Amino acid sequence: MRVSVDSGRCVCTGTCAFVAPQVFAIENHSELVVLRPEPDESLRDLVLDAEEQCPTGAIQVTG
Ligand code: SF4
């Protein structure tokens, strides 16, 4: 599984970091970073929840 965020679409709500803090974080109050671009399979459900809840569809999950 690979996770990426389209920085052009992300509006830094922090939703993904709240849902899956193992994978996403907001840094400097305004920058979303993907902590684990290739997270463990055990995190798949959380990552997919974050993807679903992102209001702008900025999160891409492949694999
Ligand atoms: S949920 Fe979407 S818009 Fe909000 S911080 Fe995450 S990637 Fe950005």
pLDDT per residue, tens digit, the chain (63 aa), is 999 999 999 999 999 999 999 999 999 988 999 999 999 999 999 999 999 999 999 999 999
The whole-number pLDDT of residue 29 equals 85
**How confident is the model at residue 50, as a pLDDT?**
98
CA of 53 to the centre of ligand 1 (A): 8
Structural domain tally of the chain? 1
Pocket of ligand 1 (CB under 6 A): 5, 10-16, 24, 32, 54-56, 58-59
Q: Extract the runs of DSSP E, i.e. beta strands, from the chain.
A: 2-5, 24-27, 31-34, 59-62
Task: From the CA of 9, give the closest atom in ligand 1.
Answer: 3
Rounded to the nearest whole angstrom, what is the distance from the C-alpha of residue 15 to the centroid of ligand 1? 6
- The parent domain of residue 30 ranges over 2-62
Whole-number Å distance, alpha carbon 55 to ligand 1 midpoint, is 7
